[in-house]
Structure 1
Amino acid sequence: MFGQRLRLARKQAGLSMQALAESLTPGISAQAINKYEADKMMPSSAVLVGLSKSLGVSLDFLMGGQVHELQSLEWRKTSNASAQDRAKAEMVVIGKLEDYLAIEDILEIQQPDNPFAEVRIDQVEDDDALDRKALQVREKWQLGIDPIPSMTALLEDKGLKVIETDLPERINGMACHVERADLPPTEVIVVARQTNVERKRFNLAHELAHRIIAGTENPSIRLEPAMNRFAGAFLVPAEHLTALAGENQRGVTYHEIMRLKRTYGVSAAAMLMRLGQVGILSRAAVEYAFKTYARSWRSTEPEALEDGEGFAAFEVPQRFEGLVWRALGEELISPVRAAQMLGLPLNIVERAIRGPRDL
């Protein structure tokens, strides 16, 4: 565990083994750094403190705790995201997870059984099967066909840990399995705070698809596009959309697309694709749109939902914060520890404990 943490910290600092070794006083060899990262040797306490200072990380981070290893990492990133960007993201996620898992341990919360076992399937054969599966999951979970107020709340209710945090600009999010020493593994989905709510909701629905559908049996259907198809069908059920928008239109106005995207909390590009998938627009009409007026929609969101507006007011992780306040109320953690976990000033936490004072 120490070796992995050291390697991450060195990469996010952009240092080679040689550069890190030379930054320490007294200096050590690059070979020693290599052995530390391979977990073949542990540094002395003096070297450990030096590593912490040189890398700008805490001793707690280097020595580990709740998180043994992040496995099966799936990145949501731009093509030019660097190894340094990924290392920074992993460090941020590990820090958040340490607190999340610690508060669950303090409250003695057990990891739930796999909540997706009852809806999971090994393969789907075509796009129609993906749409049917999305509807079946909604029926199984008694969600109806109306727009889902919060994908975040839905996934948290199903036992997934959803973390929203600041990530490097070129990374939109990630998902991974979290290995823990002598404890059952858990799963986490991370979304970048800077990502607009339309993309957050679609990314979360995409991650849900990965937990329900193992693969495709049709070689002409690639896995990631299939996950996107499921996400669109889950967020925008065909029956509801057809009732709202009508059938077999020759075209659709910009105003109507904006109205529909706000109704379902999805991007304009996803909305346009869904109109084509359910047959409201022809394939030719969708292709023409993306070649002309909608050409920029894949990279720039038109009329993006503002913070606190509509779905954006609900699409925020709440479980971790709720657990911290619960532990504080039960006097299982101190106000100082709660403030550190919540990232709030101590005086704000203390005021929330006692309530506003009478004037």
Structure 2
Amino acid sequence: MDINYKQFIFAREYRGLSQSELAKNIKGLSQSNLSKFEKGLGSLSDEVILKIVDYLKFPKGFYRKRVYNIVENAHYRTKSITKKQRSDIEYSDKLIGYIIDEMSESVEFPEMRLRQINIEDGFSPTKIAQYTRKYMGLTDEPVKDICGLLEDYGIIIVEVDNEVDLFDGVSFTTDNGYYVMVINRNFSNDHKRFTIAHELGHIIIHLSPNFLISDFRDKEKEAHEFASEFLMPSDYIYNSLRYLKLASLGELKRYWLTSMSSIVKRASDLKAINRDRAKYFFIELSRRGYRKKEPIDVYIDKPSLFNQAYLLHKNELNYSDEELAESFCLPIDVIDRFMKLNTPKVKMRVISKQA
């Protein structure tokens, strides 16, 4: 059979199976033969391959694909994440990227219009965030419709269901060059907003194909600095932080749409308060239980490009979910998992009504 053995690794690991676990469930397959096959050093009979295909539930056409979608800058929340949990998140991200590339054959996603800046030229993340705000026409106000704003500039945001202790978000480019953020939908809105701004920092600073970023840079710290300036610009927030009081954190949170903790951290970073004052705030927030769950649910808009593209396939191109699965060479459970979400209205158009 004409297959790409790397896609077998993809399907097996997405299903959360080790080589030995898969081999135990396939008659005529040994772990050693599977290992050689997945290294490109051996072959398997067509009969055994068909059994594997049937067991993993990925269509035959999937194994003739070449899905890479190199996923970088994933922000995991714990060092104790298991290999199986990490594998599920990473392969889920790759599948989302693959689905976007497949949908782009029929629907038109907005062009990525943000300017990426080479930090190796000596620009600080703060300066890059200030430039980005100016480029996007943001003035002295908070970034309100952050999802709609970024999607208008060609960044596709996708929400997924993950345990909050495992994963915040990730940004990457698909094999066809689309810029994607995948974020964990199970956080508070202020947390999601900061994650989105953080991933925007990665896209602007670290994901351009046109310049090389040193491996010695602290990319997470740089993205964090970018996000803080992007959401809470120093020129406009500083004066309200100079005489910061505990009672004013709620009002500042409502205005800037960021967490109380991030506001205290911002005040400390900008030297609007000293370390002792910041320590006092964090102790008080912890004592009240606000470090785990803060009061006040701030506004965030919903991302829509990914889901609208799905609805265009359903409603205008007249695909059923089963036909989408067949067309994209994916199992129906993958379509169910990633594409059946609430979809706000967004301006997109169909390129072709050809299947």
Fold match by TM threshold 0.5: yes
The answer to whether the Cα contact below 8 Å between 2:73 and 2:202 also exists between their aligned partners in 1 is no
2:143 pairs with 1:148: yes
> Which residue does 1:240 correspond to in 2?
236
> Which residue does 2:129 correspond to in 1?
134
The answer to whether the Cα contact below 8 Å between 2:71 and 2:170 also exists between their aligned partners in 1 is no
Q: Specify the code of the residue in structure 2 equivalent to 1:311.
A: Y
Q: CA RMSD in A?
A: 3.4
Aligned-pair CA distance for 1:47? 2.7
Q: Indicate the percent of aligned positions where both proteins have the same amino acid.
A: 19
Q: Distance in 2 between matches of 1:229 and 1:154?
A: 20
> Which residue does 1:19 correspond to in 2?
21
2:119 pairs with 1:122: yes
2:184 pairs with 1:199: no
Q: Distance in 1 between matches of 2:142 and 2:30?
A: 59
The answer to whether the Cα contact below 8 Å between 1:196 and 1:304 also exists between their aligned partners in 2 is no
2:280 pairs with 1:285: no
The answer to whether the Cα contact below 8 Å between 1:210 and 1:227 also exists between their aligned partners in 2 is yes
2:62 pairs with 1:93: no
The 5 Å alignment of 1:286-301 reads 286-290=278-282, 292-295=283-286, 300-301=292-293
Q: Secondary structure at the match of 1:70?
A: coil
> Which residue does 2:327 correspond to in 1?
none
5+ residue gaps, structure 2: 207-211, 325-334, 343-355
With over 3 angstroms needed to count, the CA separation of the structure-2 counterparts of 1:120 and 1:302, relative to structure 1, is same
Q: Which of 309, 318, 337 is the matching residue for 1:323?
A: 309
The answer to whether the Cα contact below 8 Å between 2:110 and 2:153 also exists between their aligned partners in 1 is no
The answer to whether the Cα contact below 8 Å between 1:123 and 1:213 also exists between their aligned partners in 2 is no
Any idea what the Cα deviations from partners look like across 1:16-73, whole Å, max 9, x if unmatched? Answer: 323321211x221223212332245565554334324544x432685265x6203142
The answer to whether the Cα contact below 8 Å between 2:197 and 2:231 also exists between their aligned partners in 1 is yes
Q: Distance in 1 between matches of 2:312 and 2:15?
A: 36
2:252 pairs with 1:260: yes
With over 3 angstroms needed to count, the CA separation of the structure-2 counterparts of 1:106 and 1:311, relative to structure 1, is same
With over 3 angstroms needed to count, the CA separation of the structure-2 counterparts of 1:101 and 1:147, relative to structure 1, is same
Q: Distance in 2 between matches of 1:36 and 1:13?
A: 18
Aligned-pair CA distance for 1:191? 0.6
5+ residue gaps, structure 1: 346-359
Q: Secondary structure at the match of 2:294?
A: coil
Aligned-pair CA distance for 1:233? 0.9
> Which residue does 1:311 correspond to in 2?
299
Moved over 6 A (4+): none
Q: Secondary structure at the match of 1:311?
A: coil
The 5 Å alignment of 1:57-96 reads 57-59=57-59, 62-63=62-63, 65=65, 68-77=67-76, 78-96=78-96
Q: Secondary structure at the match of 1:68?
A: coil
The 5 Å alignment of 1:151-230 reads 151-169=146-164, 170-179=166-175, 184-214=176-206, 222-230=218-226
Q: Distance in 2 between matches of 1:32 and 1:150?
A: 53
Q: Distance in 1 between matches of 2:5 and 2:133?
A: 43
The answer to whether the Cα contact below 8 Å between 2:285 and 2:291 also exists between their aligned partners in 1 is no
Q: Specify the code of the residue in structure 2 equivalent to 1:268.
A: M
With over 3 angstroms needed to count, the CA separation of the structure-2 counterparts of 1:256 and 1:4, relative to structure 1, is farther
- Kindly tell me the number of residue pairs found equivalent between the two proteins: 319
TM-score of the pair, normalised by structure 1: 0.75
Q: Which of 4, 10, 13 is the matching residue for 2:12?
A: 10
With over 3 angstroms needed to count, the CA separation of the structure-2 counterparts of 1:210 and 1:167, relative to structure 1, is same
Any idea what the Cα deviations from partners look like across 1:109-145, whole Å, max 9, x if unmatched? Answer: 3784x6343x51324768xx44343222211211222
The 5 Å alignment of 1:34-45 reads 34-40=35-41, 43-45=44-46
